[in-house]
Amino acid sequence: MELLEQILFGLMIGGIYGVIGVGLTMIFGVMRLSNFAHGEFYMLGAYFTYTFVTLIGGDPFILAPLAAIAVGAVGIAINKLLFKSLYEELKEAKGAAAFYFQDLKFIMLTIGLSILFVDLALVLWGPIPISIPSPLTKHIIKLPGGLSFSLARLIAFVVAIATLVGLYAFLKFTKTGRAIRATAQNPSAAMLVGVNIYRIYDITMFLSTGLAALAGGILGPIYNVYPTMGLDVVAKAFVVVITGGMGNVIGSILAGFLIGLAESLGGLFLGTEYKQVVAFVIMIIVLWVRPEGILGGGRK
């Protein structure tokens, strides 16, 4: 019975990993940007939701999308202020060393952002972990066979799945979605057919940071919210992205479920202290055996 429960929890947390990982993989695929501050947008999403709940009142599951939009706006602002000039330099870049130098700059800039945001959260909201109040956490759903979980978890899972399906449809069927995919494949060719790639970069940044924030907002009522919560998540988000193939959206979604499930079962069989190792071991195996990710298509 415990096995079934762990599988269920693994799938639920896997959906959330998917939402976080998809955002990270998108900006890598489109802008070649490895965002080490991705976890901080997740953290900001949780704190924005908390602030909206205390200011406006209402259920966090309704206010989380609002928080996601606000964080997405922050993402666009950062993109315009910090990264835009780098994309222009990247277009001129020639040779492996120039690309390496750009990667380094992106990574250091986002590390700087991450340090800054963590301290900002510490100053604004304090170091003590808080939990976003929601009546839904008290509704316990009982399934036949002794399985039980809170309604909040179920809703978080449903929201995660709906978001992933919605994102997939957006990328697949809308004009903007096609433009995003075209820019990921070949930015100069996309420009030639009239795509404004800097606008696409803004939209991608908005989606990426917004998705991370949404994940933070819907997990806020279930887990604790604290300034360094993003740091605990970012490494795992990268594991999901690498396992799925960097830049591969579907790969990331599948990898999210895979890692969530593997962690849950790993915790059951190996003990909770080695639960965290499982994800990294999977990543190392994937990097060794199949560096382009489980579905392929990732860039080496």
**Sites of contact with other proteins (CB under 8 A):** 28, 34, 82, 95-97, 99-101, 103-105, 107-109, 111-120, 122-123, 231, 235, 238-239, 242, 246, 273-274, 276-277, 280-281, 283-284, 287-288, 291, 300
* Measured distance CA(68)–CA(51) in Å, rounded: 13
* Measured distance CA(293)–CA(245) in Å, rounded: 4
Give me the amino acid identity at 282.
Answer: I
CB of 86 to other proteins, least distance (A): 9
* Measured distance CA(132)–CA(60) in Å, rounded: 7
Degrees to nearest 5, angle at CA 94 with 88 and 97 = 105
CB of 58 to other proteins, least distance (A): 31
> What's the N-to-C CA distance of the chain in angstroms?
42
| Buried b or exposed e, range 220-235, using 16+ CB within 10 angstroms | bbbeebbbebbeebbe
The smaller minimum CB distance to other proteins, of residues 99 and 269, is found at 99
Alpha helices in the chain (DSSP H): 2-31, 38-55, 60-78, 84-92, 96-125, 151-173, 175-185, 187-192, 197-219, 229-244, 249-270, 275-289
CB of 62 to other proteins, least distance (A): 32
Give me the amino acid identity at 159.
Answer: V
* Measured distance CA(38)–CA(116) in Å, rounded: 13
- Please enumerate in sequence order all residues whose Cβ is within 8 A of that of 181, keeping only pairs 6 or more positions apart, or say none: 171
CB of 108 to other proteins, least distance (A): 5
CB of 259 to other proteins, least distance (A): 12
CB of 129 to other proteins, least distance (A): 18
The smaller minimum CB distance to other proteins, of residues 24 and 68, is found at 24
The smaller minimum CB distance to other proteins, of residues 62 and 265, is found at 265
Q: How many CB atoms lie within 10 A of CB 252?
A: 34
The smaller minimum CB distance to other proteins, of residues 59 and 103, is found at 103
The smaller minimum CB distance to other proteins, of residues 68 and 242, is found at 242
CB of 56 to other proteins, least distance (A): 28
The smaller minimum CB distance to other proteins, of residues 47 and 52, is found at 47
The smaller minimum CB distance to other proteins, of residues 109 and 179, is found at 109
